[in-house]
Amino acid sequence: MGVSEPPHTTILIQADAIAARVMALAAEIAQDYAGRELHLVGVMRGALYFLADLSRALQAEDAGALTFDWIELSSYRGGTESTGNVEVTRDLIDPVDGRHVLVIEDIVDSGHTMTFLVALLQARGAATVEVCALLDKPARRRAPNLQVRYIGFRIEDQFVLGYGMDLDERHRALPYIAVVAAKPE
């Protein structure tokens, strides 16, 4: 039995296309980090399934020692756009100093959230910090210096949900990524 779409949405990226892209990203990451121990830092809550699938794909690539941890961030949104006022609402458990950290994020929009997190991880002494985002909305970028090393899909300026991403905390568990017809306030 299929999963029905929430009202006023259409599917943007099907589950099998997500799975194929996750496998390709894992192959690229495994090659880049060969010989180094990789520590994934997932951003709650949107990156839940992306980290779950990517970490297992990395394991299948025999990427070596692999660990992960979670952080939850909140960014005050003035209207639909996030501001630079990002806060840690649930912190990491493990220290990151001396580790090769790859941040796993659902979507980079203005880039404020990732700019804050990369600076935080660098300040805490990570050996290297890179960002892997499932989705990127380049048209919305307000943080020009942010480098996103791995990107699953570049999308237009649209509000998306599913595969971990929410609309008012709902629809995260949809297996595909859908787009809302009209942007919610």
| CB 3 to ligand 5GP: min, Å | 17
Q: Does position 9 bind ligand 5GP by CB under 6 A? A: no
CA nearest neighbour of 87 among 137, 131, 43 = 43
Q: Does position 151 bind ligand 5GP by CB under 6 A? A: no
Measured between alpha carbons, how far is 150 from 26 in angstroms, rounded to an integer? Answer: 10
- Pick from 9, 57, 113, 152 the residue near ligand 5GP by CB under 6 A: 113
Annotation says 109 is catalytic: yes
Interface region with ligand 5GP, contact rule CB under 6 A, candidates 7-15, 23-31, 64-72, 100-108 = 100-108
Would you say 126 or 161 has its CB closer to ligand 5GP? 161
Q: Does position 152 bind ligand 5GP by CB under 6 A? A: no
- Cα separation values, 132 from 2, 51, 135, 171, 178, Å: 29, 10, 9, 22, 20
Q: Does position 159 bind ligand 5GP by CB under 6 A? A: yes
| CB 175 to ligand 5GP: min, Å | 15
DSSP 69-118: EEEEEEEEEETTEEEEEEEEEE--SS--TT-EEEEEEEEESSSHHHHHHH
Collapse the DSSP code of 180 into the 3-class scheme (helix H, G, I; strand E, B; otherwise coil) and give the result: strand
Q: What is the DSSP letter of 133?
A: E
Which parts of 59-98 interact with ligand 5GP (CB under 6 A)?
75, 82
Active site residue ranges: 109
Residues that bind ligand 5GP (CB under 6 A): 46, 75, 82, 105-113, 159-161, 165-166
